[in-house]
Amino acid sequence: MTTLREQVCTLFEEIGLPAVRIKPVSAEVIEYNGLFSSLINATVTLDYRRWFVEGVLPHLIPVERTRWEAALADRSPVQVHVAFRSVDGRVLDFEMRSLVAQKKSSQSILCVFIPYTNPLFERVRDAHVSGGRELERRRIREELHKGVSQQLLGAAFGCRLLAGKLVTLNEDLGKEASDLAELLNEAVLELQNVVHSGENQG
């Protein structure tokens, strides 16, 4: 039978994001989705409970690890950069967002990994390097605004709906889903700022 916690990780997998839930002090894995196990090449380590300690923490640069540990000690949300290496040797850059459950009875930390790059953003970079004609820039800005921005808004709306359902079953999970919706809304605003900044420069 699937637990509510497993459903949260599964929800993130459905929107394409690796996610893992860990214990606060030991960072021992409680739950994870398939994208997370693929991200850290989980076959290397047999004991899934050590996947976060062995598969994530070594990829944080010292200053980011210090920030993460300080937020962990304060039981506060944090966003840090983590760079994984793919099987073929490419560097995969992610922003790890950690949300801490506030209730002492069910303390856990949900970590969601958001890629810094995806095919759309790679096209933006390639277009810029190859000469960056204004028409191409305009098309990319429109694609960012209508594509990625709308998808993030949809995910935020889905998280708000999920929060409403979860809060009746588990207040902590409802709060975490609500916090995630807020983070997604912030990401939309940041993306829109980037788009509008590009329009002003153009």
pLDDT in tens, 141-158: 677 666 777 778 788 888
Q: Domain check: are 76 and 173 in the same one?
A: no
CB–CB of 27/129 below 8 Å?
no
Number of domains in the chain: 2
Q: Domain check: are 125 and 112 in the same one?
A: no
CATH of the domain at 92: 3.30.450.20
Q: Domain check: are 95 and 158 in the same one?
A: no
Q: Domain check: are 147 and 106 in the same one?
A: no
DSSP assignment of 1-58 equals ---HHHHHHHHHHHTT--EEEE-TTT--EEEE-HHHHHHTTGGG-S-GGGHHHHHTGG
35-39, 77-81, 160-164, 186-190: lowest mean pLDDT where? 186-190
Mean pLDDT throughout 56-68?
93
- pLDDT score recorded for residue 19: 92
134: confidence class by pLDDT, cuts 50, 70, 90? low
Mean pLDDT throughout 67-76?
86
Per-residue burial over 69-90, b if 16 or more Cβ lie within 10 Å, else e, is eebbeeeebbbbebebeeeeee
Q: Domain check: are 93 and 156 in the same one?
A: no
Look at 29 and 199; give whichever has higher pLDDT.
Answer: 29
Look at 52 and 42; give whichever has higher pLDDT.
Answer: 52
Q: Please say if the pLDDT value at position 12 is more than 90.
A: no
Q: Please say if the pLDDT value at position 202 is more than 60.
A: no
Mean pLDDT throughout 187-194?
77
Q: Domain check: are 121 and 66 in the same one?
A: no
Task: Look up the domain containing 126 and give its range.
Answer: 117-202
Q: What share of the chain has pLDDT > 90, as a percent?
A: 19
- pLDDT score recorded for residue 5: 45
* CA–CA separation, 149 and 170 (whole Å): 30
Q: Domain check: are 165 and 184 in the same one?
A: yes
Mean pLDDT throughout 40-47?
71
The last residue of one of the domains, among 74, 91, 116, is 116
* CA–CA separation, 92 and 83 (whole Å): 5
pLDDT tens digits for 121-133? 455 445 545 554 5
Q: Domain check: are 135 and 102 in the same one?
A: no
- pLDDT score recorded for residue 184: 84
Look at 163 and 102; give whichever has higher pLDDT.
Answer: 163
Q: Please say if the pLDDT value at position 159 is more than 70.
A: yes
Find the farthest-apart pair of alpha carbons in the chain and give their distance in angstroms, rounded: 56
Q: Please say if the pLDDT value at position 1 is more than 60.
A: no
Q: Domain check: are 144 and 176 in the same one?
A: yes
pTM of the model: 0.56
CB–CB of 64/81 below 8 Å?
yes
Per-residue burial over 29-57, b if 16 or more Cβ lie within 10 Å, else e, is bbbbbebbbebbebeeeeebeebbeebbe
